[in-house]
Amino acid sequence: MLKLQESVKILYTLWIYITTYMGGCLEVNSEKKFQKHKLRFFPDVTLDSVIIVSMVNQILIMICSFIDEWNDHFTPSNIPEFKDEIIRFKTVMKPVFKRINRWSNLKDYRNTVLAHNFRNKGESILREEVKAMKTPLRPDEIFEITVLLNIVVLELMQKFSNYIALEDYVDMFAKVPKFSSVVGADKKEVELIIKEVNDLISVHYQQKESI
């Protein structure tokens, strides 16, 4: 039970950070005072771009940590007493992670650009190589992956509510923005993934539920 509680709370906490930073990006982007404020020593750079890039980098780090927890710790082998429940839940969430995994260089970007100073196993990473990485860097991509993780966590809290106590998280949960839709070119893709997840929920859970 303890391992399940730890893993779910870690996933939940990472999601809190991701959605909070995402909400911060949206607010900064909408405030003209940040857009007009130019840096003293870099007059071509505005304050909004600095804040948003910093928060996006944090979002990417947290997303990688979320995926690591999902793949390495929230697993049937690591929590065998809840093997069936975890297998069923992961089966339902396959469409979400199938999409996320298409950003195949996400962890490479985290490791080489955000954490290890443009080096991979001692070898330098050139600008062209970084640009070629399949990583969610555009605003619509960051927003899309945030929505996808919302799908996972909101269902996670529901499906495992009988096994974990989240009293300490209730106030925090209520204050965090819940992104349930995405704007831009990827809206149809997200809607399709939500439909696929709902279809799987209806198959793998006795009572049909929807996001």
Question: How many separate domains does the chain show?
Answer: 1
Distance CA 43, CA 14 (A): 35
Residue 123 lies in a domain: no
pLDDT at 88: 95
Q: Domain range spanning residue 173?
A: 2-105+137-204
The number of beta carbons lying within 10 Å of the beta carbon of residue 207 is 6
Dump pLDDT digits (tens) for 129-156: 887 889 888 888 888 899 899 999 989 9
Paired strand residues for 162:
none
Q: Which of 149, 155, 116, 137 has the alpha carbon at shortest distance from 60? A: 137
Residue 12 lies in a domain: yes
Residue 118 lies in a domain: no
Distance CA 62, CA 17 (A): 7
Residue 132 lies in a domain: no
Residue 60 lies in a domain: yes
Residue 164 lies in a domain: yes
Decide if 147 contacts 188 (C-beta within 8 A): no
pLDDT at 84: 94
Tell me the DSSP string of 38-96: B-SS-TTSBHHHHHHHHHHHHHHHHHHHHHHHHHHTSSTTTSGGGHHHHHHHHHHTHHH
pTM of the model: 0.82
Range with the largest mean pLDDT of 72-81, 105-114, 150-159: 72-81
Residue 146 lies in a domain: yes
Distance CA 196, CA 206 (A): 17
Decide if 56 contacts 137 (C-beta within 8 A): yes
Distance CA 177, CA 20 (A): 7
Residue 176 lies in a domain: yes
Mean pLDDT, all residues of the chain: 83
